[in-house]
Amino acid sequence: MKIKGLIGAASILIVGIIFGAILVSGFGLVRPSLADLNLGAKEPPVKLDADASSFSQAFIEVASKVTPAIVQITVVSERENPHQDWFFFPFKDLPKEQKGSGSGIIISEDGYILTNNHVVEKASKVTVGLSDKREFEAKVIGTDPLTDLAVVKIDAKNLPVAYLGNSDDLKVGQWVMAIGNPLSLTSTVTAGIVSAINRGQLGLIRDSYGVENFIQTDAAINPGNSGGALVDLSGAVIGVNSAIASSSGGTYIGYGFAIPINLAKSVSQDLIAHGKVSRGYIGINIGEVDDAIAKSIGLDKPKGVIIQGIVEDGAASKADIRAGDVIIEIDGRPVN
């Protein structure tokens, strides 16, 4: 009787162990050890050659070296309320302040920062955040609505300074990177190519004297990128990100626009030295030379600009310039 009892107990124990193992493994409670895990393929599907690795490294180095010279700009401005004088209007007591943000480029070790006019033009308070997390209150040194550029200043020393390149050397198809703070996401880098140069007549600067000579790029530019840097693969700043092409005025849909850095350098120097930009006006009304005009005056192809009128008592009226003249070049540089 004892032997039968032991055999019965052993059988029950063995069945229990087997059933428990099945039950546990069925519910995934028996897991392999870390040493037994071997996930994914053993090698990448493509081995980059030296050229491909070098190309990728160029983007990495530019992002690393240039990002510290790009700042986040936060502004507080007075909210315009068209209903504030309506005594019975239910929302006449809306908050009087609103916040906005953009980007900026450090252009001197002692704290001068280049940005867009539309970022700071109505600001009552400007705060600059550096890549090392420090924050400074900034003073607006000067603004230029006609180019959508501005300069602000913070009280700091030994800041990382961006290298300002030569936008006249830009070529369509050239790789570029946009660095800024889109949608309040700090230190964001996007890449693309120069899609076109000398873009004008876009209506992005709503002034008859506005200077529109944009670099067009398909590097993603979004709200908050304004005032940030467009750089080439040497890390040189070749443009100031400014505008978005969007039917809704919203976010990126394929391409954006940057102000050429050569124009930005000239404007920023005037703003720092004088607080404003002093411009000379030639005193002429000009138009594009189309194919019909080119053929009528014997040009081999459409080029230059045609003078449509002379402003009375302007500079041109005192020189040997007449309506109907075509300007082909100035100081050896083609005019188109």
User: Is position 53 annotated as part of the catalytic site?
Assistant: no
User: Is position 331 annotated as part of the catalytic site?
Assistant: no
Do 227 and 317 reside in the same domain of the chain? no
CA distance 199 to 202: 7
Using the Cα atoms of residue 303, residue 264, residue 131 and residue 63 in order, give the sign of their dihedral. positive
CATH at 221: 2.40.10.10
End-to-end CA distance of the chain: 113
User: Of residues 101, 103, 144, 148, which has the active-site annotation?
Assistant: 148
Output the average pLDDT for the chain: 84
Do 269 and 211 reside in the same domain of the chain? yes
What confidence category does residue 152 fall into, taking pLDDT thresholds of 50, 70 and 90?
Answer: very high
User: Of residues 101, 118, 242, 270, which has the active-site annotation?
Assistant: 118
Residue 246 falls inside a structural domain = yes
214 beta partners: 199
Of 108-117, 142-151, 319-328, minimum mean pLDDT range: 319-328
Place of tokens 């993603």: 220
Average pLDDT over residues 227-236: 95
CA distance 64 to 25: 49
Closest CA to 178 of 66, 263, 56: 66
Place of tokens 């076109």: 196
Closest CA to 216 of 198, 191, 201: 198
Domain boundary among 227, 252, 274: 274
Find all residues with CB under 8 Å of 138, minimum gap 6, and list them: 73, 113, 126, 127, 128, 152, 153, 154
CA distance 207 to 253: 25
Residue span of the structural domain in which 295 resides: 284-334
Domain boundary among 274, 302, 322: 274
**Per-residue pLDDT tens over the stretch 9-68:** 556 666 566 666 565 555 555 677 777 777 888 888 888 888 888 888 999 999 999 999
Q: Token pair of 14, please? A: 């063995």
Helix, strand, coil percentages (3-state) for the chain, rounded to 5, are 25, 30, 45
Q: How many domains does the chain divide into?
A: 2
Do 191 and 255 reside in the same domain of the chain? yes
Closest CA to 314 of 280, 291, 282: 282
Q: Global pTM?
A: 0.77
Say what the pLDDT of residue 222 is: 86
> Which three-class secondary structure state does DSSP give residue 35?
helix
CA distance 291 to 270: 38
Say what the pLDDT of residue 69 is: 96
Residue 309 falls inside a structural domain = yes
Domain boundary among 274, 309, 326: 274
User: Does pLDDT of 74 surpass 70?
Assistant: yes
User: Is position 108 annotated as part of the catalytic site?
Assistant: no
Say what the pLDDT of residue 173 is: 95
Do 180 and 234 reside in the same domain of the chain? yes
Residue 195 falls inside a structural domain = yes
Q: Token pair of 223, please? A: 């709200």
Closest CA to 196 of 212, 174, 179, 178: 174
Say what the pLDDT of residue 15 is: 59
**Per-residue pLDDT tens over the stretch 165-209:** 999 999 999 999 999 988 878 889 999 999 999 887 766 666 667
User: Of residues 101, 103, 167, 226, which has the active-site annotation?
Assistant: 226
Residue 222 falls inside a structural domain = yes
Do 302 and 210 reside in the same domain of the chain? no
Q: Token pair of 60, please? A: 């990495």
Residue 228 falls inside a structural domain = yes
Find all residues with CB under 8 Å of 8, minimum gap 6, and list them: none
Residue 248 falls inside a structural domain = yes
Say what the pLDDT of residue 216 is: 93
Residue 237 falls inside a structural domain = yes
Closest CA to 151 of 243, 261, 275, 279: 275
Residue 204 falls inside a structural domain = yes
